[in-house]
Chains A and B, each alone.
Chain A
Amino acid sequence: MSGEKANESFGTGGFHGARSCQILTAFEEGKAMRSRAHFKINCRAAALGFALAATAAVAHHSANMFDLTRTVEVKGTVKEFHWTNPHSWVVIDSLDAAGKTVAWSFEGNGPGYLVRNGWKRESLKPGDKVTITANPMRDGSAGGNLVNVVLPDGRQLSARVGGPPAAGAAPYAAPPNTAEGSSQPAGAKP
């Protein structure tokens, strides 16, 4: 898995702070993955000992890959339910607009977290017909950050994150339904 290799540290030296580092140039050129050696040399030359904590191919559960400002709704059949830390995962098969089956992967918090919202180990079983609301992947790929699940019997399970609501925060509200029978969420890329 190249992502893990890419995530290795170059060390934890101090930041000596006088000049900016070539890491920025590397990223601007979109070559972060390919130019790590280049980065290392340049950074050392610039007397910046930052560890590289920045690659795209890491952090399967970074919220940064999701567009938290939008939600999509996907209907489908549960294929897998991972009841695990650091995150639970729901994989469903859903028909796209062309009638082709697409596997969508949704990330939620781990079991210790979701049980506070009423989730249980067998809340989702393979074969269950569900409707999932999620914050979509920014890149439009078939996945998202789990927000809410409507179970076959109509009950809903929230994957809301957080303990006490933030001061002034709007209460959680389920997003409006999309067209019945459509598995292609509004605004999502094909």
Chain B
Amino acid sequence: MKLCALPSLAAALAVGMLPLTTSSFAQGIPAPPAALQKTPGIVPSGRKSDPPAFDLTGVWWVTQPEGAAGFKPDPPLKPAAKAVVDEVARLRASGLNARDKTGNCAPAGMPLIMTRVYPIQIFQTPKLITIIYEYHNAVRWIWMDGRDHPKGEDLIPTYYGHSVGWWEGGALMVDTVGMLTEPDIQPGVPHTENLHILERISLTADGFVTQLTLTDPSIFERPWVTQKTYQKSDAEIAEYVCLQDNNHFTTDDKGILRRVETGSK
């Protein structure tokens, strides 16, 4: 009994079920229902794509010619959004960590993740391009199989949004929607659920450049065009689990560094 129950439990947990009787083991574990094997809301875009122009598979490292943790040039903000940006800039200049929870291990999300100075690893296949960011080990999936974004309530708001891609004029185009309104685009620069990012990725001499066009009509006066450049890297990306040791040090409400006794280690 004991010998049988353990592998039965492990196998059942793997499909999210708990065996209640030994008979479930005898009958085998049923496959997940068909409905669980399919993601709803996948619709074709009808968009034409050129053949792939290059292969991004490999490790790349963002360069920071514009300085750390931001996008340049500054966004063309509407007055209400600019008031927020100005105030947050003032608070941050005084040392307050205004409107940035990534330091407390909250996901960076798109596009803030692109400002983090860590390597990324890209896996390019014909129907899917996957990007793993070392920072927080975050993942983006760029669907290249001709699908469109899910429509209506099928679009689930997420930190990194829903991305579809296609090839056009020698460039990789990536269209992203569905990003959660927190976090900011960069600390202090807000966005709504209507944020739309179109990336145009093209090769450079030693890497690639992605030109981003951000639209969000209630935030920006006009589309905000910015870019990030990446260099090819020999680095291998590493594990970065932010919650591993996030409690040993903190800053108190006056911004003073404090050790926290957690009782572990």
Residue of A nearest to B194 (CB): A14
Tell me the residues in window 38-92 of chain A with beta carbons closer than 8 Å to chain B beta carbons: 49-51, 53-65, 82, 84-87, 89, 91
Of B64, B78, B194, most A-chain CB atoms within 10 Å:
B64
Question: Are B257 and A105 interface neighbours, CB within 8 A?
Answer: yes
Q: Total contacts A to B, CB within 8 angstroms? A: 207
Measured in the bound complex, the distance between the Cα atoms of B181 and A169 in whole Å is 33
Q: Is the CB of A17 within 8 A of B192?
A: yes
Q: Are B248 and A89 in contact (CB under 8 A)?
A: yes
Contact with A along B94-135 (1 / 0, CB 8 A): 011111111111000000000001110000000000000010
Interface of B is mostly: loop
9-residue interface stretch from A1-9, A93-101, A173-181? A1-9
Q: How far is the CA of A14 from the CA of B181 in the complex (A)?
A: 6
Residue among B78, B83, B91, B181 making CB contact with A54, cutoff 8 Å? B91
In the complex, how many angstroms separate the beta carbon of B149 from the nearest chain A beta carbon? 18
Among A12, A58, A62, residue most surrounded by chain B Cβ atoms (within 10 Å): A62
In the assembled complex, the Cα of A112 lies from the Cα of B62 at a distance in Å of 17
Using a CB-CB cutoff of 8 Å, which residues 113-153 of chain A contact chain B?
113, 115-116, 137-139, 141-143
Chain A residues, CB < 8 A from B259: 91, 103, 105
Q: Which of B117, B192, B256 contacts A15 (CB 8 A)?
A: B192
Which secondary structure dominates chain A's binding surface?
Answer: loop
User: A54 and B248 in contact (CB under 8 A), knowing A33-B253, A64-B92?
Assistant: no
**A7 CA / B252 CA spacing, docked (Å):** 12
Residues of chain B within 8 A of A58, CB atoms compared: 97, 101, 103-104, 250-251
Query: Which residue of the partner chain A has the closest CB to B88?
Result: A54
Q: When A and B form their complex, which 3 residue pairs have the shortest distance between CB atoms, in order from nearest? A: A112-B238, A59-B103, A163-B61
Q: Given A56-B96, A57-B252, A166-B63, list of 18 further CB < 8 A pairs?
A: A6-B253, A7-B104, A15-B191, A17-B218, A50-B181, A51-B182, A53-B98, A54-B91, A60-B104, A65-B257, A85-B241, A85-B242, A107-B249, A112-B237, A116-B235, A141-B257, A164-B233, A169-B64
